[in-house]
Amino acid sequence: MDHLPKGIQTVIKVIDAVGEWSGRIVGWLIIPLIFALTYEVIARYGFNSPTVWAYDTAYMLYGSLFMLGAAYTLKKNGHIRTDIFYDRWSPRRQGWVNAISYLFLFFPGMLFFLISGLDATIHSWTILEKSDFSPWRPPIYPFKTVIPLTAFLLMVQGFSEFLKSLYAALKGEWL
């Protein structure tokens, strides 16, 4: 870290903290997911009155969980990659390949993901769209907002990863 300008160090630290905390918050969605579906089974067999809300609740929690967890997973280097060649490369080469990949593969893709996700989300908020899946008809617009939010979190975390790769490319060692 010594060779890195203070400003950039701070940027990496702040972003990584955001990524870490996004995961520490989003991860807990698993608990209401377990509760909702367990309750549904109990209500069906125990009280002979299945719920009207379990189905919508389940997919909304699950969909938000894996999407919003993507940035945290990126921070943990957890997204599936094929490392048969990558692992044999020097840190310098890994850094260059990574940095270039972030620049040309990652950021443009996520930017378009953000824009089109935002477009669909805004339309959904405009017509105050409800769920198509049950007469409970909960609002669906917060759920659609998960898409642009995921893209945004990924771009922020990706920026930190890009800086780290650049460091490896220039210094020949990973931070």
Partner 1 sequence: SAQTKVYTWKIQSAFAAGAYEYVNPKDLVARLEEMSGGRIKVEILPAGAIVPAFEVLDAVHKGVIDAGHGWSGFWGGKHPAVALFGSPGGGPFGMGSEDYMSWLYIGGGLDLYNELLQKELKYDVLAFPTSIDPPEPLGWFKKPVKSTAEFRGIKFRTAGMAAELFKEMGMSVVILPSGEIVPALERGVIDGAEFHSPSADMSIGLHTVRKFFHMPSVHQPTGNMELIINRKKWDELPSDLKAIVRAACIAETLYFSLKHLDQNVKDLDAMVTKHGVNVVETPKEMIMEMLKAWDRLAERKSKESPFFGKVLASQKVWAGRMVPYRLVAHPPYDTIADYYWKGVNPYKVVKP
Partner 2 sequence: MSPEYLGLIFLAALLIGIFAGFPIAFTLIILSIIFGYIGFGDRVFHLMVYQTLGVMKEETLAAVPLFIFMGHLLEKAGLMERLFASFQHMLGGVRGSLYLGVLLTATIFATATGIIGASVTVIGIMAAPAMMKSKYDVRLSAGAITAGGTLGILIPPSVMLVVMGPVAGVSVVKLFGAAILPGLLLSGLYIGYVMIRCYLRPELGPPLPPEERLTSTRKIFTEFLSGILPMGFIIFAALGSIIMGLATPTEAAAMASTGSILLTLFYRRFTWPILKEAVYKTLQTSSMILFLGMASNIYGAVFTRLGTSAMIAESLLNLQIHPMGLIALVMLIIFLLGWPLEWPAIVFIFLPVFLPVVQELKMDLLWFTTLVAVNLQTAFLSPPVAMAAYYLKAVAPGWELRDIYRGMMDFMILQMIGLGLVFFFPKIATWLPGLLFS
Q: Which does 37 bind (CB under 5 to 8 A by kind): partner 1, partner 2, none?
A: partner 2
Show the tokens assigned to 153: 């979190």
Q: Which of 58, 65, 120, 156 binds partner 1 (CB under 8 A)?
A: 120
Closest to partner 1 by CB, 8 vs 140, is 140
Closest to partner 1 by CB, 130 vs 171, is 130
Tell me how crowded residue 102 is: count the other CB atoms within 10 A of its CB: 19
CA distances from 18 to 34, 51, 85, 145 (A): 26, 36, 31, 19
Residue 115 per-residue DSSP state: H
Q: Which does 48 bind (CB under 5 to 8 A by kind): partner 2, partner 1, none?
A: partner 1
Show the tokens assigned to 37: 């579906």
For 50, phi and psi rounded to 5 degrees? -60, 155
112 Cβ contact partners less than 8 Å away, ≥ 6 residues apart:
none
Question: Least Å distance between CB 40 and partner 1?
Answer: 10
Instruction: Using CB under 8 A, list all residues that contact partner 2.
Output: 23-24, 26-28, 30-31, 33-34, 36-38, 40-41, 45, 55, 58-59, 61-67, 69-70, 72-74, 76, 78-86, 94, 97-98, 101, 104-106, 108-110, 112-113, 115-117, 119-120, 133, 143-144, 146-147
Closest to partner 2 by CB, 112 vs 174, is 112
Quick check: 135 binds partner 1 (CB under 8 A)? yes
Could you tell me if 146 and 66 are in contact, meaning their C-beta atoms sit under 8 angstroms apart? Answer: no
Could you tell me if 114 and 155 are in contact, meaning their C-beta atoms sit under 8 angstroms apart? Answer: yes
